[in-house]
Structure 1
Amino acid sequence: MTMTPSLAGAGLDALNTRVQYDLACLNIPPTSWVPERTADDGQSVHDVVIIGGGQCGLVAAFALLSGGIRNIRIFDRNPAGLEGPWLNYARMETLRSPKTLPGPSYGFASLTFRAWYEAQFGTQAWEALDKIPRPTWMAYLNWYRQVLKLPVENDVKVEHVTPEGDLLRLELSGEGAPAQTVLTRKLIMATGREGTGAPKIPGFVENLPANTWAHSADEIDFARLKGKRVVVIGVGASAVDNAAEALEHGAGEVRFLIRRQQMPLINKMMGIGSFGFTHGYAGLPDAWRWRIMHYSFATQTPPPRGSTLRVSRHANAHFHFGCGVKSVRMEGEEIVIDTQQGAVRCDYLILGTGFEIDPLARTELAGYADRILLWRDRYQPPAELENEELGKFPYVGRDFAFQEREPGSAPWLGNIHCFNYGATVSLGKVSGDIPGISEGASWLAGAIASNLYREDAELHWQRLEQYDTPELLGDEWAASPLPDQTANA
């Protein structure tokens, strides 16, 4: 499927028409085939609820609708247009991913970023574009949601999920939340980078006043840092982007305190990205999957070149390697950081320490998160490959569903699908990163369809038996006897 060249520069109305034509040609969405269900109290039951209306939630919803699973809802805690990190805590100027990746297009050329961009700005502008500006990507996702009419309900936070037999009951809050709880058969946690955990907060900030530090995922008033001495812990992409924001808002100086001895230079996972890796990784033995992810974590992903140059062009930016933090304390209004190379004083501290995987940190799963099977429960690596962080990742199946640590103790966990960063060690980069997100959504929708059909097998059998619409009316033929065999002898 290719974009008609005449659509380049023709505007979004023309592209929208093309998208609707493509969908009509493929009969998307088809009629729902999932039997309707009501609870014992008469409340309607949804087939699937998706937590998160960012790129993962959107493409998951489109995949489900494309497969005829139509009784779905999507809840996002943010206002419309602010789903995901792009206009919240993401602070890079451009995306790292190449502009040519199909992303959440789900195999439709008319749904790619390129089609959307060319329709508005033309082919020359597309050719001139280097990396995708972050706000532009968010504008594209907003269009994707609108043109596909995806039912995102904003300002709705899922507070807790409670199992009720083979159903899940969702307690909701927020300005957009419905008055009553919601029942669903399947739940997809499309909750992004922090989807199975929380920001990683080192213990050394415990005694610091709350107004002296922030995590890179927090809302930060960078204007308040003008003229201030800022220290950034770490040198990953988010650390570098936050440092750049501080410098561009007039920070007096920014110092990176970096535990490792040198900057990582090579994005190892980018080097092996392929159709084979996307589809083959999940089928590898545990030992191979652990080995690959351990190597990726050990070598680390460097910050993008553009982001790093954005920082280093400031003369008051300083990179200190081999400078791990030993302790932190306040002296008057100064933060004093004792490092492996001596003391550093600053006015404000930014933690570029990323996110940790910890299902117990998710309030939605409170009360039973400790029953989720983790990698450390399933696989014991050799001593040279031990990694506590990897061991905390949930061990999910090909359907992205949580599994029980003790079989039979929490069977409802199989109805909660981890379509976020938490599935990375089990399934690879198909539940968050732009390159493999459509493939992941296809796996997810197919698995949920299979599970729903199997659970309703008796009802589908009844439909088979009861189906009585004839294709033939009986007047299409006339019966005739065999010819007389003896007469023909």
Structure 2
Amino acid sequence: MKHTPTAPMSTGLAALEAQLAQDLDFLELPAKSWVPERFHDGAPVRDVVVIGAGMCGLAATAKLVLTGITNVVAYDVAPAGLEGPWVTFARMQTLRSPKTLHGPSLGLPQLTFRAWFTAQWGVEAWRALDKIPRGQWMDYLVWYRKVLALPVRNSVRMTGLAPVGDLIAIDIEGAETGRVLARHLVLATGRSGLGGFALPDFLKGIDRAYWAHSADEIDFDALKGKRVAVIGAGASSMDNAATALEAGAGSVDMLIRRKEMPRINKLTGIGSQGVVLGMHHVPDAWKWKFFDYTASTQTPPPRSSTLRVSRHPNARFFLDCGIVAVREDTGSLLVETTQGPMRYDFLIAATGFSNDFNSRSEFAAIAPHIRTWSDGRYTPDMGLLRAGMSDAPDLGPAFEFRERVPGSCPMLAHIHCFNDAAMLTHGKVSGDIPAVSAGADRLVRGIAASLFAEDVETHFANLIAYDTPELLGDEWVDSTPLLQKEAAL
């Protein structure tokens, strides 16, 4: 999916790539590889395996490679060019973030979206650009991966984990099948984090022919002329409602439990490097206070997304409309609401995601051992025990999991939760565009420190063994014999 104002200038992009290569050379990046090679029973061991090659996975992989941790591979279940949500289940027309944000550029100006865009379409086109079309953002990420030559393998799914000594065995299938051994594992698994869709109880048992989650692959053309309901008042609910309307749905009703639409994006209002770098250092009670407040006030959908729905005369907004029950009835859905019964042909649940580790078979070996905030980090004096926060993983400083029972699953210390589930512990640095570079830096600093400490004996042995002289012995004359001769006179 291409979203470009005019035909791009390939010569401009070539010049940008040359400048980026020079900048990397000036900064001596990638750094020289420094992690000792390791084998287990003759099989090679990866220093780090990254699961997910969306924006966060690419940023993490790039930062690892630039730091000299080069024995790395990233796997993504999607085919090349379809990683992440941008051209799959994201249905907004443009990104919500300001176009000027640095995103995954890792502090390199020539790696920013702005540099990539202006190299191809010029400064005037940049000035005219309002928000970034989501397909164009995907084009940029494809270029990002290519220009950095990142080691990504597509159409590969992780199916299981197991400890092998002090290593992590990762079972994979797809374009590559087998078992990969790694010292560290990074889960850059996006919005779904470690769980999956958050589904309300009233949809359990309802035939999937009648409903979909907003992150599902949905045949919107099949909704032409149909009565559609969308649950929620967030950005994804608006995007899905608009897509259904634009595909010719007969009617779309927004069923919104709140009495008023949220209007203010609170976290955007305090966005700063202080929040990015400081949130994970403040006491837990303050972390809880910040995110509990923003959860209670909620994030409004973008104005453009809301207008995209409301401009259709066959769209209706029902506020203070909670859903009591849903049942199948004569080829349709009968939805009992606090405003009375309503009938629909199809329902889209824009109800977000959960941190239910037990719902994913690939996490079966670690799910029972993962310590969450409800295991002691949260205390009642912090405020309301809120679902979605209390089940968030209690992470260490490098996004590493912690054990619920010490000693029960040591490999958790080498598995890093670099996805949306890390927000309560680390702030919004591992899921959204604004601070992903800071998150990748924090992650990789921790992994690098761990790898060095684990190999400290080898590094010390290398220190002792190093014998390349800087002085060859012909740079001076020893004056001691002369002094002795003079003393004898």
Q: CA deviation at 1:346?
A: 0.6
* SS of residue paired to 1:142: helix
Give per-residue Cα distances to partners, 1:126-180, cap 9 Å, x unaligned.
0000000000000000000000000110000011111112101111111x114x3
- Partner of 2:389: helix, strand, or coil? helix
CA contact (8 A) 1:192 1:432 kept: yes
| Partner AA of 1:187 in structure 2 | L
Q: Which moved more, 1:135-144 or 1:201-210?
A: 201-210
Q: Secondary structure at the match of 1:217?
A: coil
Q: Is the 8 A contact 2:325 2:335 kept in 1?
A: yes
Q: Distance in 2 between matches of 1:334 and 1:409?
A: 49
Match of 1:171 in 2: 171
SS in 2 for 1:137: helix
* 1:3 aligned partner: none
- Structure 1 match to 2:156: 156
- The superposition leaves residues 314-359 of structure 1 with CA deviations (integer Å, 9 ceiling, x where unpaired) of 0111111110100001110121100111111110000010111122
Counterparts of 2:373 and 2:9 in 1: how far apart (Å)?
48
- CA offset at residue 8 of structure 1? 9.3
- Whole-angstrom distance in 2 between the partners of 1:438 and 1:384: 31
Q: Is residue 335 of structure 2 the alignment partner of residue 334 of structure 1?
A: no
- CA distance in structure 1 between the aligned counterparts of 2:379 and 2:385, rounded to whole angstroms: 8
> Given residue 26 of structure 2, which amino acid in structure 1 is its aligned partner?
C
Correspondence for 1:357: 355
One-letter amino acid matched to 1:284? V
Residues 1:21 and 1:37: Cα distance change in structure 2 (over 3 Å): same
Q: Deviations over 1:12-38 (max 9, x none)?
A: 111111111111111211221100000
**Which residue of structure 2 lines up, in the alignment, with residue 386 of structure 1?**
385
Match of 1:461 in 2: 460
Q: Aligned to 1:291, what secondary structure does the other structure show? A: helix
Length-normalised TM-score, structure 1:
0.95
1:401 aligns with 2:395: no
Matched-pair contact (CA < 8 Å) for 1:9–1:122: no
Q: Whole-Å Cα distance in 1 between the matches of residues 168 and 356 of structure 2?
A: 21
Task: Give identity over the alignment, percent.
Answer: 53
1:439 aligns with 2:467: no
Q: 1:383: how far off?
A: 7.4
- Listed one character per residue, the Cα deviations across residues 449-487 of structure 1 (whole Å, up to 9, x for unaligned) are 000000011111111111111111011111224979x99
Letter in 2 for 1:124: E
Verify the 8 A CA contact 1:74 1:151 in the aligned structure 2: yes
Displacement, 1:408? 1.2
The residue type paired with residue 67 of structure 1 is T
* Mapping for residues 188-267 of structure 1, pairs under 5 Å: 188-267=186-265
TM-score (norm 2): 0.95
Please give the alpha-carbon distance, in whole angstroms, between the structure 1 residues aligned to 2:339 and 2:268.
33
* Alpha-carbon contact 2:169-2:179 (below 8 Å) kept: yes
> d(CA) in 2 for partners of 1:58 and 1:368?
24
Structure 1 residue 384 displacement after superposition = 4.1
- One-letter amino acid of the structure 2 residue matched with residue 85 of structure 1: P
Rounded Cα–Cα distance in structure 2 between residues aligned with 1:163 and 1:359: 18
Residue 319 of structure 1 is matched in structure 2 by 317
8 Å CA contact 2:161, 2:365 repeated in 1: no
1:313, distance to aligned residue in structure 2 (A): 0.5
Equivalent position SS for 2:77 = coil
- Aligned match of 1:28: 29
Whichever residue aligns with residue 216 of structure 2, its letter is: D
CA RMSD of aligned residues (A): 1.6
Structure 2 residue matching 1:149: 3-state secondary structure: coil
Asked if structure 1 preserves the Cα contact closer than 8 Å seen for 2:253 and 2:316, the reply is: yes
Q: How far apart are residue 98 of structure 1 and its match? A: 0.2
Question: Once the 2 structures are TM-superposed, how far is the Cα of residue 290 of structure 1 from its aligned partner?
Answer: 0.6
Offset at 1:270? Answer: 0.4
Distance in 2, Cα, partners of 1:396 & 1:385: 21
Structure 2: distance between partners of 1:246 and 1:265: 24
Asked whether the equivalents of residues 8 and 123 of structure 1 are also in contact (C-alpha less than 8 Å), the reply is no
AA paired with 1:35?
A: P
Matches within 5 A, 1:85-164: 85-164=85-164
TM-superposed deviation, 1:227: 0.6
User: How far off its partner does 1:182 sit?
Assistant: 0.6
Provide the secondary structure at the position in 1 that maps to 2:399: coil
Deviations 1:58-80 (A, max 9, x none): 11111111110000011000000
Establish whether residue 12 from structure 1 lines up as the match of residue 13 from structure 2. yes
**Structure 1, residues 387-441: CA drift from partner, whole Å, max 9, x if none?**
1221000010110000011111111101100000010000001001111000010
The residue type equivalent to 1:479 in the other structure is: D
Asked if 2 retains the 8 angstrom alpha-carbon contact of 1:9 and 1:121, the reply is no
| Partner in structure 2 of residue 82 of structure 1 | 82
Secondary structure in 1 matching 2:467: coil
* Deviation of the 1:236 alpha carbon: 0.8
Distance, in Å, in 2 between the alignment partners of 1:133 and 1:112 is: 15
Q: Secondary structure at the match of 2:205?
A: coil
The residue number in structure 1 matching 2:5 is none
Q: Which amino acid aligns with 1:445?
A: V
Secondary structure, counterpart of 1:171 in structure 2: strand
Tell me what 2:71 maps to: 71
d(CA) in 1 for partners of 2:358, 2:370: 9
Q: Is the 8 A contact 1:9 1:118 kept in 2?
A: no
Secondary structure, aligned partner of 2:137 = helix
Unaligned runs of 5+ in 2: 1-7
1:291–1:385 CA contact under 8 A, matched in 2: no
> How far is the alpha carbon of 1:386 from its aligned partner?
2.1
Which amino acid in the other structure matches residue 75 of structure 2? F
Measured in 2, the distance between the counterparts of 1:259 and 1:163 equals 45
Give the corresponding residue for 2:292.
Answer: 294
Distance 1:97 1:483 in 2: 76
Q: Give distance in 1, aligned partners of 2:10 and 2:365.
A: 54
Greater shift, 455-464 or 373-382, is seen at 373-382
Unaligned stretches of 5+ residues in structure 1? 1-6
Q: Secondary structure at the match of 2:161?
A: strand
State how far apart, in whole Å, the 1-side matches of 2:207 and 2:57 are.
Answer: 36
SS at match of 2:46: strand
Alpha-carbon separation, structure 1, partners of 2:10 and 2:330: 60
Offset from partner CA, 1:80-131 (integer Å, 9 cap, x none): 0000000110000000000000000000110000000001100000000000
Alignment match, 2:4: none
- Aligned-partner Cα distance in 2 for 1:56–1:433: 8
Q: Does 1:54 align with 2:54?
A: yes
